[in-house]
Chain A
């Protein structure tokens, strides 16, 4: 069952590669939050109840509700354009994300370790790389933050793979969430629009002979 959720998670990565609008990005992040909730619920069966409830609440409230709602609010408040504006065409992005998936599958096949759950490893690693890729090819600050959230989801999956043995790692993964929210708060308080230090084109109207 966790495999189904993780394969669906990998499909959301393909979708985020070709999404055009920021709203779609946010919806994907919400969906990923719910998927992670399911994975957490199924995978972490051996840790104590209090910790499990804390982690579950964190995934559902923080990842799936609070952060996306706040991102939506920031986009509206700061007047950010609703299109993602990548540097390179979506088609190439899709090919690259597919290549990332294939390469991580090949890579994980060459690792011989009995403790490693391969599905978790592949999905986590490809999520990490996809997040990095999204950060490096999108123009806006807000999409950088979203790329960071994707990376952080990847780290969370990686920590879930060993969560039963080391619950501490999952809690450390949650720390990244707080770090991400600091990012978003920074974008919000500094009223950063599309990009940093956006030159105001309207000031050109003041130019007169």
Chain B
């Protein structure tokens, strides 16, 4: 329950920090950190316009997407404190809830009948497909390391002892940061600022959404960022008490947001054909993590 409140609180200003960092890096003052939230509230007050080629799927998809992400957030624990939903193997539910939301976004993009949106949908599904094995190998390795199969079990029994386990923590953080960038279509993969339909991935899928629906989709992105930030912060929290947990949580979230902002300021977007290999690197790195776990557990036949 604590994690749910904290994640929702973080989602209010996460994108704001990214935008502010980018403005400062490019020498501007930039909007306040609550500006994206104000825009979303403004969108919530508006009505939606639906194209006549679309069907019911296009109208329900944004709500499904938002709901799936909210439900995925329910699975995320915070250190010692359970998430709202917690059972053995909940990280599988977590991954497939996200996939469910993404599936609805993809079919709603196809539903509009626009060639651009179909293209964006195909790219989005390709990149998610490449990122998924990385997530599962990573979580599987940690499950093997700790002997637990739920988010809460894994994170609360994970503590760093030897040199290799620090390495694993760093690599896992790296993998999760990049997965968060891919899932939210941020800079090295996709540029959220471009207004060229040919080069966009996520942004092109939501070209036809407007008003309330667009607000839901935009806020879902904020929530997703805060959710991944929460998972990353869990790698550092362990089983500390609430007094230390909350400051660590916010420090990790804010530094994650600033890191994303700096990434976006100083990196160019990859060419579309270079994206698959970049994402596949994650799977390779997760395999190395798996190998490190095997080393730690001395599972190699001696």
Which residues from chain A sit less than 8 Å from chain B, CB to CB?
1, 3-4, 7-8, 10-11, 14, 18, 90-91, 94-95, 97-98, 101-102, 105, 108-112, 114, 118-119, 122
Q: Is the CB of A18 within 8 A of B302?
A: no
Q: Which of B276, B281, B295 contacts A14 (CB 8 A)?
A: B281
Residues of the B chain whose Cβ atoms lie less than 8 Å from the Cβ of A11: 285, 288
Q: Is the CB of A10 within 8 A of B288?
A: yes
User: Does B164 sit at the interface, judged by CB under 8 A?
Assistant: yes
Whole-angstrom distance between the alpha carbons of A97 and B163 in the complex? 25
Q: Is the CB of A98 within 8 A of B301?
A: no
Q: Is the CB of A3 within 8 A of B164?
A: yes
Residues of the B chain whose Cβ atoms lie less than 8 Å from the Cβ of A102: 287
Residues of the B chain whose Cβ atoms lie less than 8 Å from the Cβ of A118: 295, 300
Q: A18-B281, A94-B281, A97-B284 are in contact. Are A4 and B301 (CB under 8 A)?
A: no
For B291, the closest partner residue in chain A by CB is A105
The number of residues on chain B lying at the interface, defined by a beta carbon within 8 Å of a beta carbon of chain A, is: 22
Whole-angstrom distance between the alpha carbons of A109 and B163 in the complex? 22
Residues of the A chain whose Cβ atoms lie less than 8 Å from the Cβ of B164: 3-4, 7
Q: Is the CB of A91 within 8 A of B277?
A: yes
Q: Is the CB of A101 within 8 A of B284?
A: yes
Q: Is the CB of B163 within 8 A of A1?
A: yes
Which residues from chain B sit less than 8 Å from chain A, CB to CB?
163-164, 166-167, 274, 276-278, 280-281, 283-285, 287-288, 291-292, 294-295, 300-302
Q: Is the CB of B288 within 8 A of A3?
A: no
B176 to chain A, nearest CB (A): 16
Q: A1-B163, A119-B295 are in contact. Are A98 and B277 (CB under 8 A)?
A: no
Whole-angstrom distance between the alpha carbons of A114 and B284 in the complex? 28
Residues of the B chain whose Cβ atoms lie less than 8 Å from the Cβ of A110: 301
Q: Which 5 pairs from chain A and chain B are nearest by CB?
A: A91-B277, A98-B284, A4-B167, A14-B284, A1-B163
Q: Which of B166, B276, B283, B301 contacts A109 (CB 8 A)?
A: B301
Q: Is the CB of B284 within 8 A of A3?
A: no
Residues of the A chain whose Cβ atoms lie less than 8 Å from the Cβ of B287: 98, 101-102
Q: Is the CB of B291 within 8 A of A98?
A: no
A28 to chain B, nearest CB (A): 14
Please classify the interface of chain A as helix (H, G, I), strand (E, B), loop, or mixed, using the class held by over half of its residues.
helix
Residues of the B chain whose Cβ atoms lie less than 8 Å from the Cβ of A18: 277-278, 281
Q: Is the CB of B280 within 8 A of A3?
A: no
Q: Is the CB of B302 within 8 A of A114?
A: yes
Whole-angstrom distance between the alpha carbons of A94 and B302 in the complex? 30
Q: Which of A90, A108, A112 contacts B277 (CB 8 A)?
A: A90
Residues of the B chain whose Cβ atoms lie less than 8 Å from the Cβ of A90: 274, 277
For B162, the closest partner residue in chain A by CB is A3
Residues of the B chain whose Cβ atoms lie less than 8 Å from the Cβ of A111: 301
12 contacting pairs across A/B (C-beta < 8 A): A3-B295, A4-B163, A7-B291, A90-B277, A91-B276, A97-B284, A98-B284, A98-B287, A101-B284, A101-B291, A112-B301, A118-B295
- A4-B163, A101-B291 provided; 10 other pairs, C-beta below 8 A? A4-B164, A10-B288, A11-B288, A14-B281, A90-B277, A91-B276, A95-B280, A102-B287, A108-B300, A119-B295
Residues of the B chain whose Cβ atoms lie less than 8 Å from the Cβ of A4: 163-164, 166-167
For A2, the closest partner residue in chain B by CB is B163
For A122, the closest partner residue in chain B by CB is B291
B160 to chain A, nearest CB (A): 12
Whole-angstrom distance between the alpha carbons of A95 and B277 in the complex? 9
Residues of the B chain whose Cβ atoms lie less than 8 Å from the Cβ of A10: 288
A27 to chain B, nearest CB (A): 17
For B294, the closest partner residue in chain A by CB is A105
Whole-angstrom distance between the alpha carbons of A125 and B104 in the complex? 45
Whole-angstrom distance between the alpha carbons of A105 and B284 in the complex? 13
For A3, the closest partner residue in chain B by CB is B164
B167 to chain A, nearest CB (A): 5
Residues of the A chain whose Cβ atoms lie less than 8 Å from the Cβ of B283: 98
Whole-angstrom distance between the alpha carbons of A3 and B126 in the complex? 34
Q: Which of B276, B277, B280, B292 contacts A7 (CB 8 A)?
A: B292
B228 to chain A, nearest CB (A): 22
Whole-angstrom distance between the alpha carbons of A118 and B296 in the complex? 12
B140 to chain A, nearest CB (A): 14
Residues of the B chain whose Cβ atoms lie less than 8 Å from the Cβ of A95: 280
Q: A11-B288, A14-B285, A18-B277 are in contact. Are A112 and B167 (CB under 8 A)?
A: no
Residues of the A chain whose Cβ atoms lie less than 8 Å from the Cβ of B291: 7, 101, 105, 122
For B302, the closest partner residue in chain A by CB is A114
Q: Is the CB of B163 within 8 A of A101?
A: no
Residues of the A chain whose Cβ atoms lie less than 8 Å from the Cβ of B302: 112, 114
B278 to chain A, nearest CB (A): 8
